[in-house]
Copies of this chain bind each other. A is one copy, B any other.
């Protein structure tokens, strides 16, 4: 296996270097082929670096950036005025070929805007998408996209999302002929708006995509499909609604536990179970969300993530580099376009 370099934004997220640096050390320990470029203020990195052992020092480069993007900064402000930020540097390194991919736990909106600006989309792809794994009822997983990169998607963008999701499920998720579905308000052919109907028609005519038709919101968790495609508006609403509902359920269980001793016992067992579902509901907290469709690999870890969650995101980026996801997406979209014309 060849040497694999990831750039990390060590200032991103609510806890910045406190959770990211330990995750980096764990990742280097478990994968001897991995190298990092750590982007952040040199004075902070130097002190930490000097305490590491030689094997770790040999596989780390430091890239000094004195700015950082705050969690509540607007994408436009970050794009314009944070050219020396750790987030921007990480993307610049990928663009210049000095890193094979990058991981950040920072401001999602800023990351989307910067990544799109710096890396640009692959040929044949109009817009990048944010994609992540959701849990399903039988302990399985489903790829859901777009989770909020683009609130307005025409049928061509939705079609491209279907192709990209299918590639990720196949090459990273190791699913043979992944079943691809469109999220809709009903499963009948006449359901939905023109945009979705057009996408459905195009997908049905594309033999290299295993398109299975429409699924409804409740099917997200049903394992009917391996990849579910929707626009960034509906995807974000679905994800956040479920997050809100899980909080509601946790709250109800807590309330019930105050009613009597039996319920108190119940809550002790039920709450960890529910919290676990809550974490899985919050997918970038669990295993990172990927920004796909770009000429480079960008993985987003949750702003509030633990070291373990950031380590998951590093592993995801590593897999995407190894499997050459951008090249595979480019090849697939070319093949699909050839088939269409």
* A→B interface (CB under 8 Å): 74, 76, 109, 135-137, 148, 151-152, 183, 185-186, 188, 190, 192-194, 216-222, 230, 232-234, 236-249, 251-253, 256, 262-263, 265-266, 269-270, 273-274, 277, 281
* Pairs A-B, 6 closest by C-beta atoms: A217-B240, A218-B244, A217-B241, A238-B241, A185-B236, A221-B244
How far, in angstroms, from A109 to B148 measured CA to CA in the complex? 29
* CB atoms of A237 and B240 under 8 A apart: no
With a cutoff of 8 Å between Cβ atoms, the chain B residues found around residue A238 in the complex are 217, 237-238, 241
Contact partners of A237 in chain B: CB under 8 A = 183, 185, 216-217, 230, 234, 237-238
Note all chain B residues with C-beta closer than 8 A to A188. Answer: 74
> Copies of this chain, how many?
2
The closest CB in chain B to the CB of A281 belongs to B245
Are B265 and A277 in contact, CB atoms less than 8 angstroms apart? no
- A253-B240 Cα distance, complex, nearest whole Å: 22
| Neighbouring B residues of A281 by C-beta, 8 Å | 245
Q: How far is the CA of A246 from the CA of B274 in the complex (A)?
A: 11
A232 touches B266 (CB 8 A): no
**Min CB–CB distance A88 → chain B (angstroms):** 20
Q: In the assembled complex, which residues on chain B have CB atoms less than 8 Å from the CB atom of A266?
A: 265-266, 269-270
Residues in B whose Cβ lies below 8 Å from that of A249: 246, 249, 274, 277
- A240/B216 in contact, CB under 8 A: yes
